Homo-oligomer: A and B are copies of this chain.
């Protein structure tokens, strides 16, 4: 089947770029040194490719991602890298067919985990991201509290999310500062795991035992604007449905198909004017040519994670050949 036969809007994965990205990351972080983050792609089929590349441990941002990974036979070592209080969600994870570790950062999250059958936790530490995580000097107390409640404490995690877009010249130094907080906490907590990082700090973060990264698989234009060695593998495939001779054209995907939190998406040969619910309006790029009604166009998402979450499936392409489909089966909560 040819990509031109696909109904639009459709998400495409360039298999060659995807394979390059996985090979590159797996060489740098082989096996358990990488804990791929499924929140970026929300697909057990994609996760299976990472399993084949040697990565058996995954992390997730929602209970549904954890339970879905376990149901797909990918539950060897699942980390919910997030705080959860909901008893139903915790019990669903505790009862799923997998090994589940959850992040805790407070007496309340420890109690919720212990009360609902969770066996293993990591202490989540604030390393400067203005999000979850306990104060570094409180990590030992929380680990003791968790052990008192019968929980196995496997170590610590801390996400330096504020440094994912840090300029190259200061990135290593600032990651080292953030990770020194995590290592301080780890000395209090013990355990085998020091988990952190992301695609943006995959080279500089040499302090952790495992990297939590997912965006590297598919990439986006935000990460693409940095010096990372990964290629854009994700595209939105659209049909031009209207061409206005005053100088613009409109394709059939917009705010409901693309995440806008990192700004407008990009088009290789055109300049985006704006997006509305089901439309992207664009003007010609440097060559000055408007497309024709019925032409197909590629759009590059600005932010991969919330873009993927808007779709039911991704189509695998090599050039114009359609090779298969990955269901995006870990959507919603």
Contact = CB atoms under 8 A, between A and B. Distances in A.
A259 interface: yes
Interface string A1-31: 0000001110000000000000000000000
A86 B248 CA distance: 21
Contacts of A239: 85-86
Contacts of A126: 244, 246
A132 B242 contact: yes
B277 A86 contact: no
Given A8-B86, A85-B293, A108-B293, A261 B250 contact: no
A156 B203 CA distance: 58
Contact of A279 (B131, B241, B309): B131
A243 interface: yes
A75 interface: no
Contacts of A309: 256, 310
Given A255-B303, A259-B260, A281-B131, A85 B276 contact: no
Interface string A22-46: 0000000000000000010000000
Contacts of A252: 82-84
B83 A242 contact: yes
A255 B259 contact: yes
Interface string A67-111: 000000000000000111110110000000000000001101100
Nearest to A60: B278
A278 B239 CA distance: 31
Interface residues on A, range: 35 or more
A158 interface: no
B7 A86 contact: yes
A61 B276 CA distance: 11
Contacts of A274: 130
B278 A61 contact: yes
A306 B277 contact: yes
A170 interface: no
Interface in A268-282: 273-279, 281
Interface in A126-147: 126, 130-133, 135
A28 B139 CA distance: 60
B332 A312 contact: yes
A62 interface: yes
Given A86-B8, A132-B250, A260-B260, A277 B241 contact: no
Contact of A306 (B255, B311, B333): B255
Contacts of A132: 241-242, 250, 279
Contacts of A333: 7-9, 257
A110 to B, nearest CB: 11
Contacts of A241: 82-85, 109, 132
17 contacts: A39-B278, A62-B278, A82-B278, A85-B241, A85-B293, A106-B242, A130-B248, A130-B274, A255-B259, A255-B306, A256-B306, A256-B309, A260-B261, A277-B305, A309-B310, A311-B332, A312-B332
A-B residue pairs, 3 tightest by C-beta: A260-B261, A132-B242, A83-B241
